[in-house]
Structure 1
């Protein structure tokens, strides 16, 4: 029996399809409080016990030259490149404010620029921001760290890629979504194959460690046949990682999605058929199914981390750096320091006003309770390593797992009967058929979920 046939059970995918979190954090951002006290963040940052962990830095660059109609990111669409200068100046001031809160001898082993479109910045501006980062923080050598950037091939020439590598970036994440020209027209993202291919080749020529590509299924005019052609083209390009996301159509939250004709969206049945083809083609081509919508070559660090049970999740998705404290820079960015999550002001004027006043731009957040910490660990282990070893939690938290989670384990019997999990006295394992539904399995342990919140999340399948 092939991996694809074990992974893809249309009856179970239809049965369990629901709205649910992606668990880039637990509790999720819906539980962040507007009355959060930034002093909790400052205390966590100054905790002497944190000095044993590395730092991870995230920079949010919100600007885009054009807007993609499907996008739900926090972004500012503008063709005026001059908007980047004042934002860059404030990022540098924010770095100084944040650096004053931490022991900056702690090494940075992970850095990520996301957006928006980070390559909206000019070559000089990207060099300036990276130089400022090195002034304030201690970045580890190339071989010991992951320095990644999201790149729009429409905004990046081979010269841009060489420039980014020279600055220290060693991993690229490329947005593609679909190669079909009809789909590209419908989503307002015209991106010929040659653009993507030239960027990927430049990344290989300049020694990037890993190239990841994002695709989206469920977009207007997509069919099984058309997306199969996109998959075939992508496999010929051979990225190290692939993320194949399900499009979440929520025009009530994201106004630009109203620009697409909802009548052209594929039906739920076609979406499932596309997903099945994705699993068949990628696993058949030798990619390891990491979980949810992520695939990686066996040689990629992501696959190796899962095999070694060191895979983690943060606000950028799956991560190979498990124990880092994350500092977020820029409008809407989220940090995780110790047991505290803190999110910056989302709108640019509010963010600018806070930084100009010499204050951190934190707007909301949450300090985790003991129960939150336990459940975060449980959900993270499920999402990343696809198993729970009860003795590890009992040793770490001083609990008896079966008693503490008796209601949750009882609910999981239905998943067990459907062949999604295996339950034993000492552990829970996600079976191959359950990997595509790991969000549903993790949701069993989420004490915050209710009918009032689930509709704010995307579909699990």
Structure 2
């Protein structure tokens, strides 16, 4: 059917699985289209690791709201949980970093932090009714981030894991990950991590070129990264993830290809390629970066496009935005099966569970509420000293938020939206509810980002490269704050 209500329709001739396979195939035509459209981009887009996004969280969210969320989570037992632990400490500062971190070489500070982390876990577990051996909640996904989690010494890591084991049951079939700095681990530490139950590691590289490493104050010889990955494979870790950043000082397309040469020698199961955002007015360490040494926008775009082309040619599956995975990795399998989801760590295989956040600045998603902890150690410690959960801000989702979160998640993760299914689940008329949004989608369809059918919206390979812009169409808060432009969000 075509007509005034559906001016840019394409025939929907394949199954959702076939549509997904087509959408994840990033060919030369899609990359050429992406290059052509890049000059018309106009502004930054959210990553949508949550909806509403974290900038919508507010301080008018008391501890009582979090306690109520935990009560609702307890009532939903025995559904598994997801856990995030934030370890903020680092030995030295990386100039590009925008994470909530504390630079110190005083390991007495981390010992004190572990004391408070254990106390927070006990308070949350008690509220969940999960303090006894027979009532421990199962955990399908856990992630230690930072900062540098491997800043903790072995005894501190054992204390944290002992507290987790006391209050929760980390399922062996689940995904249990830790971010490591290869400069802070040796074989003995890798053995410890495996014995503690971690089955996935994520390690930062950013770039292997010495001049780039010097400019960002992160000198990390290739051998250290290689040894950590080889140890992980020897010890039976299920997956190794590697983080790269493009847009750093002194990077060029050719130099970044040299970094990719070394990455591909190691063949990590997952690769994340993040865009560097130079925001020195927000992140003070970035003031030490020589702005004149940053690649020009055209060069930065070349780095991105050539990286996508190279990794997909080498057999990696383009998961979306900045994520790639080998075809047999759990992330690629989840995408293939339509199980891929988003959480605060990005694309994930087990993101549909309530997520508890522990530690300074950590974010949780519990029973329809987002909760973020205090951002400073002083505030975090003061709350726990008063026997209170260290809540600093949060957000309680409405029915409309749940609807839009689902729509955005389906498009970003699976590349296709089953409109009748959404209508049945949320008891809405999709065309009526999203009349304005559909008009905007038609504008994007004219440039080949998606196909629109009365029963489905399907993202094309080109649209996958600009998926944040498609998601932005359904962001009510962004639309109310300012008109959503009819072109594209900057992803480079």
Number of paired residues? 457
The one of 306, 310, 314 aligned to 2:343:
314
Do 1:216 and 1:244's aligned partners in 2 also have CA atoms closer than 8 Å? yes
The aligned residue for residue 285 of structure 1 is 314
Aligned to 1:3: 26
Matched, 1:127 2:158: yes
In 1, the alpha carbon distance for the partners of 2:467 and 2:353 equals: 24
Using the TM superposition, give the Cα deviation of residue 136 of structure 1 relative to its aligned residue in structure 2, in angstroms: 1.0
Aligned residue among 234, 240, 265 for 1:211: 240
Residue 49 of structure 1: how far off its partner (Å): 4.8
Task: Note if contact 2:137-2:167 (Cα within 8 Å) is conserved in structure 1.
Answer: no
CA RMSD in angstroms comes to 1.7
Alignment of 1:256-275 (within 5 A): 256-275=285-304
Q: Which residue of 2 aligns with 1:74?
A: 100
Match of residue 40 from structure 1? 65
Shifted more, 368-377 versus 190-199: the winner is 368-377
Q: Give the secondary-structure state (helix, strand or coil) at the position aligned to 1:435.
A: helix
User: Alignment partner for residue 373 of structure 2, among 327, 344, 349?
Assistant: 344
Structure 2 stretches lacking a partner, 5+ long: 1-21, 131-135, 484-488
Contact 1:108–1:137 (Cα < 8 Å) also in 2: yes
1:106 is displaced (CA, Å) by 2.6
Within the candidate set 440, 463, 485, 1:411 is matched to: 440
Q: Distance in 2 between matches of 1:165 and 1:91?
A: 22
**From 111, 126, 134, the counterpart of 1:85:** 111
Q: Which residue of 1 aligns with 2:454?
A: 425
Task: Tell me the CA shift for residue 38 of structure 1.
Answer: 2.6
Q: Deviations for 1:231-266, whole angstroms, at most 9, x for unmatched residues? A: 111011100000000001111100100000101000
Distance 1:117-1:396 versus aligned 2 partners, 3 A rule: same
State the Cα distance separating 1:4 from its structure 2 match: 3.6
Give, in angstroms, the shift of residue 452 of structure 1: 6.5
Partner of 1:147: 176
Instruction: Say whether the 8 Å CA contact 1:24–1:313 is kept in structure 2.
Output: yes
Structure showing greater Rg? 2
Instruction: Determine the C-alpha separation between the residues in 2 that align with 1:208 and 1:25.
Output: 28
8 Å CA contact 2:62–2:391 kept in 1: the answer is no
Query: 1:372 & 1:128 partners in 2: Cα distance?
Result: 38
Q: Given the alignment, which residue of 13, 17, 39 partners 1:14?
A: 39
- Any conservation in 1 of the 2:331–2:340 contact (CA below 8 Å)? yes
Q: Give me the TM-score of the superposition, normalised by structure 2.
A: 0.90
SS of 1:220's equivalent in the other structure is coil
**Cα distance, 1:451 vs. partner?**
9.3
Q: Please give the per-residue CA displacement for 1:91-129, whole angstroms capped at 9, x wherever unaligned.
A: 000000010121433311111100000000001111111
CA spacing shift, 1:160–1:6, aligned 2, 3 Å: farther
Aligned residue for 1:276? 305
Counterpart Cα distance in 2 of 1:453 and 1:64: 38
Q: CA deviation at 1:52?
A: 4.5
Contact 1:408 1:444 in 2 (8 A): yes
- Alignment partner of 1:106 is 2:141: no
Report what 1:460 is aligned to: 491
Verify the 8 A CA contact 1:310 1:322 in the aligned structure 2: no
Counterpart of 1:295 (choices 303, 324, 327) is 324
Distance 1:129 1:322 in 2: 23
Tell me how far apart the structure 2 counterparts of residues 28 and 320 of structure 1 sit (CA, whole Å): 20
